[in-house]
């Protein structure tokens, strides 16, 4: 064995020792059956399961209009785009998707990336090229993709305590009033399910002449009259300079984007390596995403959003009634606090093997150590039977493992 193999083994052993070595759960979703799926165990045997931790929040990944649009584009044009956006990879499907997204957010333009991770990383790291001396103020709980973009761009950054407006104000006030500034934050923080104070941050941005960058990844499709997110719901969308979203969660397909002024999009398009030097989305993916965005803007979307919130409320009420330590900030995300990685993995394993319920344990570095949790994502396709089975299983497990039934958090 070489010293390189030893180093690899040691790095993996550290994860095993901490109880946070991640294992994939192999599942097969069947179209029209989600959240039901089949799990193939490592030994090849299979079990029917219900997925409770997916981010296909509204079940759009199996929606007939989305699938029809994807089939039509696939038949019309074939599989891949065959190029980067600048070199033969811009098609009518990409243009149509960007027009749909610009309209969704009431912005002049939108720009599609391979994922919202890449959109965050590429945009945030490129802004410093456009605005020399830019200072970025970043919420302490921002997603890894934003942290990476801020870090890779180099230059000055200030991390403000999560959702702490007084701290943000203090940091803004301490810097040169003439320096260009940008505040980067999220509308819904996906691990606790709490909301960012969009209005108040926009007020501060106005006061200190800063730009705003808002990640709406866990809100697009699900909040606001047309599904444009929490900023739309709160009447703040026009005050946000750059909105980031995903096409892979509530929209059920794949890809990410930013929406902003035509000038801003033109500059990012022209400078961001993460946009320029990679093949564009397959046209069928762009077509499916556009169909999903279009559908969720309308009446059908409003109905799904209402059902989604209802299912989340029912699940939270029932878990709280059992005294389970759920974190409730009023969003659609339902985290149950466990507090250590070993218990968290054990509960997840027991739910899967004994109850056919699939919820992945959430460990460090996704959440801070000591706050390990199970994170449930109810959706309109999780009916009363699925909710009943989950609640009964959680009740039984909490008793079996003699875990605390604390007051619900928040």
9 burial type by CB count under 10 A (0-12 exposed, 13-18 middle, 19+ buried): exposed
Using the rule CB under 6 A, give the single segment among 84-92, 212-220, 262-270, 306-314 that binds ligand PLP.
212-220
Query: Taking a C-beta distance cutoff of 8 angstroms, is the pair 119, 256 a contact?
Result: yes
Residue 147 engages ligand PLP in binding (rule: CB under 6 A):
no
Sheet holding 361-362, edge to edge: 334-337, 373-376, 361-362
Does 297 qualify as catalytic in the annotation?
A: no
Q: Which is nearer to ligand PLP, 246 or 371 (CB)?
A: 246
Query: Taking a C-beta distance cutoff of 8 angstroms, is the pair 106, 238 a contact?
Result: yes
Report CA-CA distances (Å) from 140 to 1, 168, 181, 407.
41, 11, 17, 26
Strand partners, 327: 409
Q: Which is nearer to ligand PLP, 288 or 394 (CB)?
A: 288
Which residues touch 384 (CB under 8 Å, ≥6 apart)? Answer: none
Using the rule CB under 6 A, give the single segment among 42-50, 96-104, 211-219, 288-296 that binds ligand PLP.
211-219
Which one of residues 63, 85, 143, 373 is an interface residue with ligand PLP (CB under 6 A)?
A: 143
Three-class SS of residue 119? Answer: helix
Residue 360 engages ligand PLP in binding (rule: CB under 6 A):
no
Which one of residues 57, 117, 185, 208 is an interface residue with ligand PLP (CB under 6 A)?
A: 117
Query: Taking a C-beta distance cutoff of 8 angstroms, is the pair 195, 188 a contact?
Result: yes
Residues 107, 157, 181, 249: which is the catalytic one?
Answer: 249
Three-class SS of residue 406? Answer: coil
Residue 398 engages ligand PLP in binding (rule: CB under 6 A):
no
Per DSSP bridges, beta strands 242-246 and 211-215 are parallel
**Which residues 178-207 are close enough to bind ligand PLP by CB under 6 A?**
186, 190
Which residue stretches of 298-340 are H helix?
Answer: 299-321
Minimum distance between the CB of residue 138 and ligand PLP, rounded to whole angstroms? 13
Using the rule CB under 6 A, give the single segment among 34-42, 109-117, 234-242, 400-408 that binds ligand PLP.
109-117
Minimum distance between the CB of residue 144 and ligand PLP, rounded to whole angstroms? 8
Residue 145 engages ligand PLP in binding (rule: CB under 6 A):
yes
Residue 248 engages ligand PLP in binding (rule: CB under 6 A):
yes
Using the rule CB under 6 A, give the single segment among 29-37, 115-123, 168-176, 325-333 that binds ligand PLP.
115-123
Residue 215 engages ligand PLP in binding (rule: CB under 6 A):
yes
Residue 69 engages ligand PLP in binding (rule: CB under 6 A):
no
Which residues touch 76 (CB under 8 Å, ≥6 apart)? Answer: none
Footprint on this chain of ligand PLP (rule: CB under 6 A): 115-117, 120, 143, 145, 186, 190, 215, 217-218, 246, 248, 256
Annotated catalytic residues are 249
């Amino acid at each position: 064995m070489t010293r390189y193999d030893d180093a690899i083994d040691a790095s993996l052993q550290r994860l095993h020792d901490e109880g946070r070595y991640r294992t994939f759960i192999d599942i097969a979703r069947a179209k029209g059956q989600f959240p039901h799926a089949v799990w193939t165990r490592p030994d090849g045997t299979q079990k029917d399961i219900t997925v409770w931790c997916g981010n296909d929040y509204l079940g759009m990944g199996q929606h007939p209009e989305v699938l029809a649009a994807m089939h039509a584009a696939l038949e019309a044009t074939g599989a891949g785009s065959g190029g980067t956006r600048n070199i033969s990879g811009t098609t009518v499907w990409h243009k149509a998707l960007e027009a749909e997204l610009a309209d969704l957010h009431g912005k002049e333009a939108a720009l599609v990336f391979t994922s919202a991770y890449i959109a965050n990383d590429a945009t945030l790291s490129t802004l410093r090229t456009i605005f020399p001396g830019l200072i970025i103020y970043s919420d302490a709980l921002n997603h890894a993709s934003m942290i990476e973009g801020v870090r890779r761009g180099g230059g000055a950054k200030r991390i403000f305590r999560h959702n702490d407006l007084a701290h943000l104000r203090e940091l803004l006030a301490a810097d040169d009033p003439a320096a260009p500034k940008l505040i980067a934050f999220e509308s819904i923080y996906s691990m606790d399910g709490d909301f960012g104070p969009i209005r108040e941050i926009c007020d501060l941005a106005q006061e200190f002449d800063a730009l705003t960058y808002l990640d709406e990844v866990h809100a697009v499709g699900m909040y606001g009259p047309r599904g444009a997110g929490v900023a739309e719901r709160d009447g703040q969308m026009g005050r946000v300079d750059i909105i980031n979203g995903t096409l892979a969660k509530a929209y059920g397909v794949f890809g990410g984007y930013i929406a902003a002024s035509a000038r801003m999009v033109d500059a990012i398009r022209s400078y961001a390596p993460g946009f320029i030097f990679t093949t564009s989305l397959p046209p069928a993916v762009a077509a499916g995403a556009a169909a999903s965005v279009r559908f969720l803007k309308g009446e059908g979307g409003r109905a799904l959003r209402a059902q989604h919130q209802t299912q989340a409320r029912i699940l939270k009420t029932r878990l709280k009634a059992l005294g389970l330590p759920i974190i409730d900030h009023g969003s659609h995300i339902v985290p149950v606090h466990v507090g250590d990685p070993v218990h968290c993995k054990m509960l997840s394993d027991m739910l899967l093997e004994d109850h056919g319920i699939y919820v992945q344990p959430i460990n460090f570095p996704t959440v801070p150590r000591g706050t390990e949790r199970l994170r449930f994502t109810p959706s309109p396709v999780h009916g009363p039977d699925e909710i009943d089975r989950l609640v009964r299983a959680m009740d039984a497990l909490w008793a079996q493992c003699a875990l605390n039934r604390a007051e619900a958090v928040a």
